[in-house]
Amino acid sequence: MTRPQSVPPGSFGPSALATPANAVTIARLLLTPFWLVVFVSNGPSWSAFGIGFLLASTDGVDGYIARRQGTTRSGAFLDPLADKFLVVGGLVMLVAQGAFWWVPVAIITAREMIISIYRSWVARRGISVPARYWAKVKTVVQEFAIAFALLPTTAGTPWLAKGVLWIGAGLAVFTGAQYLLDGRRLQLSDR
C-alpha cells in the first residue's frame, strides 16, 4: 500500500483547488469580461490599458505564488485558460473595433484551440506537455500587441501594434509546432 506524500505546512498538494494562486487566476478570468467592456466603451484609453496591464501582470503573480506554495493540476489547467481568455478576447475585440486585421488573430486563435484540444487529448493518455520558454514569450508578445493598440500614446501609430501582432502570430505557429513535436516525442518514449 502506498502512503500519501505529506505536504509541508503552508503549501498545497497537486490535487488542491482552493489555493491563493488559483484565486488570482480565477480573479483574472472573472475580470477579463469587465476589461473587454471598458475597452469597447472607451476605445484606446488609459483605463482600458491599465486594467489590461493589471490582468496581464497577474499572470506572473499567480505563477510566483504557485511555485512557492506548490503547483496544482487545477492551476496547470486554469492558468493557460486565463491567458487564452485574456489574449484571444482582447484580440477579437480589437478586430471588431477595426484596429487589427482578422488573419493574424485567426492564426493565433486557431493555434490556441488546436493546442488546447491536443493537450487535453494527450493528458487523457497520462502525458503532460509542459510549456516551453518561447510559449511564454509568445503570450507576452501578444499582450504587448494589445497594449500598444490600447495605450493612448501608441494607438495613433497602428503599425507598431500590428507589427508586434504579426510577431505574436509567428511565435504562435512556432510554439504550436513545438507542442505537437514535444507531445509526439513524449508519446513515443512512453511506449
Cell numbers 488542491 correspond to what residue? 16
Using one digit for the tens of pLDDT, what is the confidence trace for 42-80?
889 999 999 999 998 887 787 778 777 777 766 677 777
In this structure, what CATH number is given to the domain that contains residue 149? 1.20.120.1760
Establish if 7 belongs to a structural domain: no
**Residue 34 is part of which domain span?**
20-185
C-alpha cell recorded at residue 96: 471588431
Using one digit for the tens of pLDDT, what is the confidence trace for 142-172?
999 999 999 999 988 999 999 999 999 999 9
The number of domains in the chain is 1
Residues 6+ apart with CB under 8 A from 81: 29
pLDDT bracket for residue 185 (50, 70, 90) = confident
Establish if 143 belongs to a structural domain: yes
Using one digit for the tens of pLDDT, what is the confidence trace for 100-128?
999 999 999 999 999 989 888 888 888 77
Cell numbers 487564452 correspond to what residue? 84
Instruction: Evaluate whether 84 touches 139 at the Cβ level (below 8 Å).
Output: no
Establish if 137 belongs to a structural domain: yes
- Is the full-model pTM beyond 0.85? no
Establish if 14 belongs to a structural domain: no
Establish if 136 belongs to a structural domain: yes
Establish if 142 belongs to a structural domain: yes
Tell me which DSSP letter residue 155 carries.
T
Establish if 6 belongs to a structural domain: no
C-alpha cell recorded at residue 71: 503547483
Establish if 35 belongs to a structural domain: yes
- What angle is formed at CA 158 by the lines to CA 154 and CA 160, rounded to 5 degrees? 70
